[in-house]
Amino acid sequence: MSEIVHVTSVEVVADHRLHLGFDDGVRGEVDFSDRNWRGVFERLKDPGYFSQVRVDPDMGTVVWPNGADFAPETLHRWTVSAAGDPA
């Protein structure tokens, strides 16, 4: 079973691109520009709204004002994959 990881930092580095830090030391960028935003995520199409992301320390992941979030394990896997390491 995978170890539970939590997002500890987030920085918007470009439209729909985040630099994420995790409590296991993994750091890297994830590009969300090719996402097909629907439902609760639809507002994230707007780069201005996307940039309102923050870390929710209670949930251990990133969240937006409308409550949209991603599982920290998914973000971790995407960050590791984007770095070219096996997830």
CATH of the domain at 62: 3.30.2020.10
Classify residue 31: in a domain, yes or no.
yes
pLDDT digits 0-9 by tens, 33-80: 999 999 999 999 999 999 999 999 999 999 999 999 999 999 999 999
Residue 2 located in a structural domain: no
Asked, for residue 1, whether it belongs to a domain, the answer is no
Give the pTM: 0.89
Q: What is the pLDDT of residue 86?
A: 46
Q: Is residue 66 part of a domain?
A: yes
User: Domain count of the chain?
Assistant: 1
Quote the strand ranges of the chain, DSSP E: 7-14, 17-22, 27-31, 54-56, 61-63
User: What letter represents residue 73's amino acid?
Assistant: E
Q: Which domain does 48 fall in, by range?
A: 7-82
